Amino acid sequence: MNAASPILFDLDGTLLDTHDMILESMQYTINEVDGQNQNDEKLMAGVGTPLLDQMLHFTAGNKTRAEGLVNIYRAYNDAIHDENIHAFPGTKEALGMLAQAGCRMGVVTSKRHAMAQRGLEMSGLADHFQFLIGHDDWPEHKPAPGPILRGCELLGVAPRHCLYVGDSPFDIQAGNAAGCATAAALWGMFPCEALAAERPTLMCDSLTELADRLGI
């Protein structure tokens, strides 16, 4: 990879610091409304995969009940979104450096398109990206490679010439399966050990470090 390599990014935990907002929404949905007593680690274990898949885990596969929890989660999360959404420190500046170096960039997330786009706009990051692929934009979802392959197609590059950056094991699994180089965002929601186990191409402590390692 080099300074002009196209880059695809995950959103939550990679560009936007949404850990506390997601955790609060999960605590409300699973523990307060559904009456369970799950610890924070279990509530956050599936972040990065589709929300319905996460809720199916807490309902022992009961789809009707899981769909109801998805609706509860989304209503609560939407209500607290705007006052809690923000980018990680230095993200806007690092993206500016990448853009100035000629990097073409897109976002591939398991979040709904509308809320993902709102988060990018409210955090001042939207202008750096050519496109956003959300949960409702593609039939396949991470850790499957489909949405990342679609991102490569939109960038007009073969996957081997593209870098995918994400903070979850599911991100690295999807990027590797797509044939991309992968960068583990150690500043996100998952521990270093869990990310290292997926064998990413790079592991970085910040977007600024990533830019530096790309020669920018």
> What is the per-residue pLDDT for 2?
67
**Token couple for 182:** 């992968």
Residues 60, 149, single domain; the answer is: no
In a shared domain, residues 90 and 80: no
pTM of the model: 0.94
Position 157, amino acid: V
Give the residue from 68, 84, 100 where a domain finishes: 84
Same domain, 71 and 159: no
Contacts of residue 121, defined as CB under 8 A and 6 or more positions apart, other chains included, come to: none
pLDDT tens for residues 114-155?
Answer: 999 999 999 999 999 999 999 999 999 999 999 999 999 999
Specify the DSSP element, H or E, that contains 192. helix 192-196
Is 27 found in the same domain as 104? no
- pLDDT one-digit tens code per residue, 62-75: 999 999 999 999 99
Residues 13 and 60 in one domain: no
Indicate if 175 and 190 belong to the same structural domain.
yes
What CATH number does residue 48 fall under?
A: 1.10.150
Does some domain include residue 137? yes
Domain match, 13 and 28 both: no
Span of 2-11, 91-100, 187-196 with lowest mean pLDDT = 2-11
**Identity at 151, one-letter amino acid code:** G
Give the structural domain span for 70.
19-84
Average pLDDT over residues 178-190: 97
CA distances, 14 to each of 69, 78, 79, 157, 207 (Å): 25, 20, 22, 22, 9
Tell me: pLDDT of 1 over 80.
no
Domain boundary among 84, 113, 134: 84
d(CA 188, CA 209): 14
Provide the annotated active-site residues. 10
Q: In whole angstroms, what is the distance from residue 166 CA to residue 79 CA?
A: 26
Q: Are residues 170 and 198 in the same domain?
A: yes
The structural domain count of the chain equals 2
Please say which residue of 63, 84, 105 terminates a domain: 84
* Residue 1 is assigned to a structural domain of this protein: no
Residue % of the chain over a pLDDT of 90: 95
Token pair for 134: 């959300």
CA distance 151 to 107: 8
